[in-house]
Structure 1
Amino acid sequence: MRKEELRAIAGRIDHTNLRPDVVLSGIERLCAEAVEYGFYSVCVAPAYIRKAAVFLSGSDVKVTTVVGFPLGFTLASVKVYESLEAMMCGADEIDVVMNISRAKEGDWGYVEKELNSIVLATGDLVRKLIIETGYLNDAEIATASEAAVAGGADFVKTSTGFGPRGASLGDIGLIKDTVGGRVSIKAAGGIRDLGTVREFIDAGADRIGTSSGAEIMREAAGGTGPHS
């Protein structure tokens, strides 16, 4: 694969480690891989934002974290507090889990208002709304995507990686048709190889969340590189 294509793919990846048993050395390795391969960001738990920012100091790699993760049913006021703390700790982007229970009840006004309260509190922070498509039917995916736009999100994100399933190409197509370029799209959950990354990008994903970023880049480079 040409270096230009490698860089283009790497620049769409949020290199992720949200395992509950991750230790500091794992976060350090995640950040080192992100710098080495030129990933867009690392996605880490809130407890590791400050450490990740230190490890990434002097690089172009951004720090992403999660809010209301992974179930989404914390109070809106708590999500606002989490978001503010994330920003103060050095996060550049937050991936916020919507209140799935309220969505399943059809209370889309709540979903939109909760997101908007986070948007109003966090200034220039990039906000992604995780709609957890595995719990939703097609009509709900479309409505959740509209709520993300109305609430002021910068991205619609498919999945936490902790739900019943990860992203599907059908999800991306439906979200793309719904948002029509008004916000960006992040695919996440179960994306572990180069072919799948390409399929999701071709389907309309602007960003890819994966814990397999380094493996994907080594595959793209034909198995060569300092870690092979």
Structure 2
Amino acid sequence: MKLASYIDHTLLKPSATVEDIITLCEEAVKHEFAAVCVNPIYADLAAHHLAGTGIKTAVVIGFPLGATITAIKAAEAKEAVLRKANELDMVINIGAAKAGLWEVVTEDIRQVVEAADGAIVKVIIETGLLTEEEKRQACLAVIDAGAHFVKTSTGFASTGATVEDIHLLKKIAGDKIGIKASGGIRTREQALALIAAGATRLGTSAGVTITGG
């Protein structure tokens, strides 16, 4: 197993500069990560620096709160794809999830999937804010909406990815969709434990350290 191939090399800090994103892309190429994950403003910049490398450009949508109007999420997704994003990491309507409005949650995701026009859609359910039953329902909504991955966390909540949550999501998702663990992944040991639990992708800003680079 090549650990680097699981990693989305991530920089989502509001203070990130053009130079920081270029460095992120250079590190991704050097270590052969799966993708870089950036804010929408840097979609075309990342795509330009990764062109021809096989490394994907992932862009966050409705990030980090998930409280953006669905039509705006869809427009953001469409614009990101026009700017050469290969993958979109969207945040669900967390408030609707907490209220048990699962049709609203599912439709929110579905519209982003449609706007993505074939690009990979990973859906952040923010596990740290959900009960176990809400995590189950959120994962089912991701599957029903036609997305490609369920993702644990934004990294902006108080808790991130846990082995227990990956086990739970794997039980629900099986092999229907991928599972991305993200939030608080800082060590190689953590990364390997999450993969062993069922994660098929890892989102982390510590990829260079984790892979021993």
1:1-228 superposed matches below 5 A: 5=1, 8-218=2-212
Instruction: Provide TM-score, normalisation by structure 1.
Output: 0.92
Paired residue type of 2:146: G
What secondary structure is seen at the aligned counterpart in 2 of 1:164? coil
Instruction: Report the Cα distance in structure 1 between the residues aligned to 2:115 and 2:66, rounded to whole angstroms.
Output: 18
Gaps of 5+ in 1: 219-224
- Please give the per-residue CA displacement for 1:162-212, whole angstroms capped at 9, x wherever unaligned: 012101111101100011211110000000111111000000000000000
Instruction: Report the Cα distance in structure 1 between the residues aligned to 2:142 and 2:126, rounded to whole angstroms.
Output: 12
Paired residue type of 1:64: A
Instruction: Provide TM-score, normalisation by structure 2.
Output: 0.98
Q: CA deviation at 1:57?
A: 2.0
What secondary structure is seen at the aligned counterpart in 2 of 1:16? strand
Instruction: Report the Cα distance in structure 2 between the residues aligned to 1:120 and 1:52, rounded to whole angstroms.
Output: 23
- Please give the per-residue CA displacement for 1:135-182, whole angstroms capped at 9, x wherever unaligned: 001000011000000011100000000012101111101100011211
Q: CA deviation at 1:123?
A: 1.8
Q: CA deviation at 1:117?
A: 1.3
Instruction: Report the Cα distance in structure 1 between the residues aligned to 2:161 and 2:208, rounded to whole angstroms.
Output: 20
Gaps of 5+ in 2: none
| Larger Rg over CA atoms | 1
What secondary structure is seen at the aligned counterpart in 2 of 1:26? helix
- Please give the per-residue CA displacement for 1:45-74, whole angstroms capped at 9, x wherever unaligned: 100111111111221111001000000011
- Please give the per-residue CA displacement for 1:6-35, whole angstroms capped at 9, x wherever unaligned: xx2111100000011011111111000100
Q: How many residues are matched?
A: 213
Paired residue type of 1:76: T
Runs of 4+ in 1 over 6 A off after TM superposition: none
Q: CA deviation at 1:121?
A: 2.2
